[in-house]
Structure 1
């Protein structure tokens, strides 16, 4: 843990004075959080209760929705408390815990999207071998890897960050994240920076290469295949590509804003963009997959209207 005699509380300095509007902002953020919870939870239930959806693609989707529930819960409760509070402070232990949540959410989301691109590659490029390649044991192993490796990386980085000697307590954000805490260190951060570099190299860049490789193969099949093959590729890959590009945009902005001075942007815009990957991704994914995948739409309608 962070030495409590050195830093016992952090100040989240990016909050602006909302005055009489804080209750309105609280209700807006609360509605947003409830919408994220309900939409993701609803699709998890739809996938779990229907055996016809117990296929590789939908099982990976279920893992994606679970992670988005987890990531939103790591952000919104503290965010709601801070909106109502006049003093925007958070204890060192709570900050460290949220730091862990943020790191794990981003890692699992990216791993999950990479596994889904691999699944689409097998379905489109190797359709005859798809059922044998995507056995239940392999699906279980891929989902376990999707959660285990980010968890391992997060434990390493959080433990290294918690051992740093800090000379400040002001974080220029509305939530705690790993890089923001490291910037407050007054001691040697070489071990943390090297570890972060290798973790990024092993995870983000290797996953990006996997995604580029799979979509390169899919495009090759689309251009050389029949019209039916192209239609199948477009219908199954479009939701995944939208989700992938949306999440990548949010993460890239977060990385850039953490490492460069963004004071020239209005404060409200900085806050919105820093929360983009936490809010827009969990909102967009259920919408994109729920509307674009006909099987989910049909089963959802049968569940709702049959009950009515």
Structure 2
């Protein structure tokens, strides 16, 4: 089987009764996608144009929203096309690109959350050094690393597998994620080991770092009422986003290991939650829970209403 041929297509077999409910699926997911775009772009717009929000913490929130937009755009347009198509297929090349985008941007989410945790740690635990440490250059470096490090890690499997022999062209999913490894006749052991290294580097280490910095913050918060108040305002939303995204990533890892045993309808429901909740959760949590952002959001909608 020539995997480089343009005629090689992968069938996405994770859909359930798509012919019967295609228009319902399409309308619901289209509305969700529009809501994701609008809510995240509102945050990016506000943070970009409001000078009072030109602080590292809000810059990282804007980066997180932009990351959510890119993450959703890697999945939703193709998904919407599939709902209206007679066959749910994707070219092998596009499948590898989608796999890369999904895990690259997913990994970036964790590193952006880690950068935000570091910013909160410096702000609450070392307030006098905050302007010196969290300069514009530092913020730029953290943002670049948050996007480049996962990209470098995740690019390896699609490149290594470019000439691998395919034993099946059916994928038990609605887009190309971890289950693509079952397309290949032989999955190199070295690649499996590398996958564990990637998991540790871009997920486990950032999570451990976040919990370490927050432990430091909570120790100081016990002794300082002002720090406790600020921690409640800025750290709680961060932890909610982290825990929810970690749960979805855990599901993605588990479903790859139980590829043949997972019920199809359960797989579909959980997969839709993975690509729906997190991109929507970020702007809702930060927009409602962050006092400064919430204030500017209300102002923006008041202006629109009066016009």
TM over 0.5: yes
Structure 1 residue 7, shift from structure 2 partner? 7.7
Residues 251 and 262 of structure 1: is their aligned pair in 2 closer, same or farther, counting only changes over 3 Å? farther
Structure 1 residue 205, shift from structure 2 partner? 2.2
**Cα distance in structure 2, aligned partners of 1:208 and 1:158:** 25
Gaps of 5+ in 2: none
**Cα distance in structure 2, aligned partners of 1:182 and 1:133:** 43
TM-score normalised by L of structure 1: 0.93
Partner residue, 1:273: 270
Residues 159 and 227 of structure 1: is their aligned pair in 2 closer, same or farther, counting only changes over 3 Å? same
TM-score normalised by L of structure 2: 0.93
SS in 1 for 2:183: coil
Aligned pairs for 1:1-308 within 5 A: 3-5=3-5, 8-177=8-177, 179-187=178-186, 189-223=188-222, 225-261=223-259, 263=261, 265=263, 267-306=264-303, 308=306
Decide which moves more: 274-283 or 3-12.
3-12
Residues 7 and 19 of structure 1: is their aligned pair in 2 closer, same or farther, counting only changes over 3 Å? closer
Structure 1 residue 198, shift from structure 2 partner? 2.0
Asked whether the equivalents of residues 154 and 198 of structure 2 are also in contact (C-alpha less than 8 Å), the reply is no
**Cα distance in structure 2, aligned partners of 1:35 and 1:47:** 18
Asked whether the equivalents of residues 100 and 154 of structure 1 are also in contact (C-alpha less than 8 Å), the reply is yes
Cα displacement string for residues 258-305 of structure 1 (whole angstroms, at most 9, x for unaligned residues): 11257454x333212123232101101100000111111222233332
Structure 1 segments, 4+ long, off by >6 Å, are none
SS in 2 for 1:183: helix
**Cα distance in structure 2, aligned partners of 1:204 and 1:161:** 23
**Cα distance in structure 2, aligned partners of 1:162 and 1:7:** 15
SS in 2 for 1:11: strand
Decide which moves more: 292-301 or 24-33.
292-301
**Cα distance in structure 2, aligned partners of 1:302 and 1:85:** 42
Residues 95 and 264 of structure 1: is their aligned pair in 2 closer, same or farther, counting only changes over 3 Å? closer
Q: Give the CA RMSD over aligned residues.
A: 1.8
Asked whether the equivalents of residues 179 and 259 of structure 2 are also in contact (C-alpha less than 8 Å), the reply is no
**Cα distance in structure 2, aligned partners of 1:264 and 1:9:** 24
SS in 1 for 2:144: helix
SS in 2 for 1:16: coil
Asked whether the equivalents of residues 6 and 166 of structure 1 are also in contact (C-alpha less than 8 Å), the reply is no
Structure 1 residue 257, shift from structure 2 partner? 1.1
Residues 7 and 117 of structure 1: is their aligned pair in 2 closer, same or farther, counting only changes over 3 Å? farther
Residues 145 and 168 of structure 1: is their aligned pair in 2 closer, same or farther, counting only changes over 3 Å? same
Gaps of 5+ in 1: none
Asked whether the equivalents of residues 112 and 146 of structure 1 are also in contact (C-alpha less than 8 Å), the reply is yes
Decide which moves more: 55-64 or 152-161.
152-161
